[in-house]
Amino acid sequence: MKLTKKKVLIVLIILIILFVIILLVKNYLEDNANQAANLTDEQLMVQQVEDYTSDKVIPKQFQTLYSNYEGQNSKNDLYSSLNNLVYDYLPNLFNQINGINDAQILNLFENNKSEIEENLGIRNIEDFTNLVKYLQTIKFDNNEFESSEIDTESYRSAGQGSYLSFIIKLKYENLDQEINLRVFFANMTSTDPEIIYSVVE
């Protein structure tokens, strides 16, 4: 009899412990649900925008792109490309082109063709040289990227209708002048390269 009373007591203690654990888990889940429910619509929208814009640069006046671009490519491709350009590729390129001459520009192009095409969409030495010479006029010193803006007056069709072209202005911290580049954004998914950056003419 004593053994059965001990067994019953142990079973009761285990049940009480399980009950307490279940209550604690239930309260924890309810607290999390209440916190999520207490987020305002504005906070939810901010959170969704932050999730959407991570690893993207969305320029000011981007809404004009929606009314001017009728192509098949995702605008997210453009925003991701801009992110790579302003945070990674341009700062590295500025370091590579500092003080180099025409022969060194040619050498840089020849040794980095695939990287240049991937990041700038440029396939020939003339376009690359023009871009490098323009960038060399800018006193860039590892400045932090601040913002970008589409020049809404610069939209035009290019490449016999293969591209929508526009000027983008890039602003970096403590840099007196903006970096202005012409962007060519392909209309068809089959057009390669999809995005080209060049000097403004």
pLDDT per position as a tens digit, 154-173 = 999 998 889 999 999 999 99
Instruction: Report which secondary-structure segment, H or E, holds 3.
Output: helix 2-38
pLDDT-wise least confident of 2-6, 98-102, 183-187: 2-6
Q: Are 111 and 180 in contact (CB under 8 A)?
A: no
For the chain, the domains span 2-53, 63-198
Q: pTM of the full predicted structure? A: 0.73
pLDDT digits (tens, 9 = 90+) for 123-139: 999 999 999 999 999 98
Using the predicted structure, report yes or no on whether residue 25 has a pLDDT greater than 70.
yes
Q: Are 201 and 176 in contact (CB under 8 A)?
A: no
Secondary structure tally for the chain: helices H, strands E: 8, 4
Nearest to 73 by CA among 163, 188, 156: 188
State how far the Cα of 92 lies from the Cα of 121, in Å rounded to an integer. 16
What pLDDT, on a 0 to 100 scale, did the predictor assign at position 24?
87
